[in-house]
């Protein structure tokens, strides 16, 4: 399924660094608490859940083991993260309820009306066409089903500020950031009801400062040893440029919700 021409963004080295900062099995901030906040108030017991951009799999395990989902299908475009997610599901004894599929970027290869919940955590930033994504998520959801996601957004749809441009360049992860207004319209135009967005900037602005403190504090020697001093120096630059746009509010992670009407 991998396209040999496509550069790997989340290879084993990157996975191991991100898990060092964000916790085993997590390739985005906030650990289990933040991952579960995305589905707060939704009953997943016995449900079939799609996790778009499942990463190295800790969230799929949480959805199945802690939230009681009957089946979680995790999809991702990177072979290393899919392998890590499969290992994690097996280690948790959940291979019968968690399926991991490596997919090509593009339309979701699932039947109409086939999931109760479509989940995603900080992954759809990599999908530029938010309108097509929302239509596709709507299509695969059963009537009454929920789209519950977290993503990294930009506060506006104009050209990024020089600070934002510097941050996106430092990340070098093919970010395609959209505004809350654009997401809200895309969800509405796709047909979703009960649309809700929650700005997580105030939360992540604080957390990111603590992550930078980890990068620059007493752990630095170990991080340099484990991941390479040049790699960690680059990450410190990324975090510093990111904090600037978190403080300005231009980088505004959000939780997104919408329900497919019955």
Query: Under the rule (CB under 6 A), what is the footprint of ligand SAM?
Result: 10, 26-28, 52-55, 59, 75-78, 81, 105, 121-123, 126-127
CB of 169 to ligand SAM, least distance (A): 17
CB of 61 to ligand SAM, least distance (A): 11
Whichever of 27 and 94 has its CB closer to ligand SAM, that residue is 27
CB of 28 to ligand SAM, least distance (A): 3
Whichever of 86 and 122 has its CB closer to ligand SAM, that residue is 122
6 neighbors 171 (Cβ within 8 angstroms): no
What is the C-alpha to C-alpha distance for residues 142 and 138, in angstroms, rounded to an integer?
8
CB of 86 to ligand SAM, least distance (A): 13
Contacts of 117 (CB under 8 A, 6+ apart): 39, 42, 44, 47, 48, 49, 50, 69, 141, 145, 146, 147, 148
Say what the alpha-carbon torsion angle 100, 103, 106, 108 is, to the nearest 10 degrees: -40
Residue 240's φ and ψ, nearest 5 degrees, are -65, -40
Q: For residue 93, what is the DSSP state?
A: T
Whichever of 123 and 254 has its CB closer to ligand SAM, that residue is 123
CB of 261 to ligand SAM, least distance (A): 26
Scan for tokens 């993260």, then name that residue: 81
Determine how β-strand 115-121 pairs with β-strand 141-151: parallel
Whichever of 79 and 191 has its CB closer to ligand SAM, that residue is 79
Nearest residue to ligand SAM by CB is 55
Whichever of 47 and 126 has its CB closer to ligand SAM, that residue is 126
């Amino acid at each position: 399924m991998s396209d040999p021409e496509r550069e790997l963004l989340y290879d084993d080295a990157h996975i191991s660094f991100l898990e060092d900062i964000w916790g085993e099995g997590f390739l985005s901030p906030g650990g289990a608490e933040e991952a579960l906040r995305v589905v707060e108030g939704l009953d997943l017991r016995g449900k079939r859940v799609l996790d778009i951009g499942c990463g190295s799999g800790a969230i799929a395990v949480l959805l199945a083991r802690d939230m009681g989902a009957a089946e979680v299908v995790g999809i991702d475009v990177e072979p290393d993260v899919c392998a890590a997610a499969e290992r994690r599901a097996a280690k948790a004894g959940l291979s019968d309820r968690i399926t991991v599929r490596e997919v090509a970027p593009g339309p979701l290869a699932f039947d109409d009306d086939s999931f109760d919940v479509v989940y995603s955590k900080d992954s759809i930033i990599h999908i530029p066409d938010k309108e097509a994504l929302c239509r596709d998520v709507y299509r695969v959801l059963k009537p009454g089903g929920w789209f519950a996601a977290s993503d990294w957004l930009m506060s506006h749809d104009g050209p990024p500020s020089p600070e934002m441009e510097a941050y996106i360049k430092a990340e070098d992860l093919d970010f395609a950031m959209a505004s809350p207004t654009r997401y809200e319209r895309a969800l509405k135009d796709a047909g979703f009801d009960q649309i809700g967005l929650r700005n997580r900037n105030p939360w992540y602005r604080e957390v990111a400062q603590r992550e930078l403190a980890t990068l620059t504090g007493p752990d630095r020697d170990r991080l340099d040893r484990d991941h390479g001093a040049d790699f960690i120096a680059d990450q410190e630059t990324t975090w510093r440029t990111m904090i600037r746009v978190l403080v300005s509010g231009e980088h505004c992670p959000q939780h997104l919700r919408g329900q497919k009407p019955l």
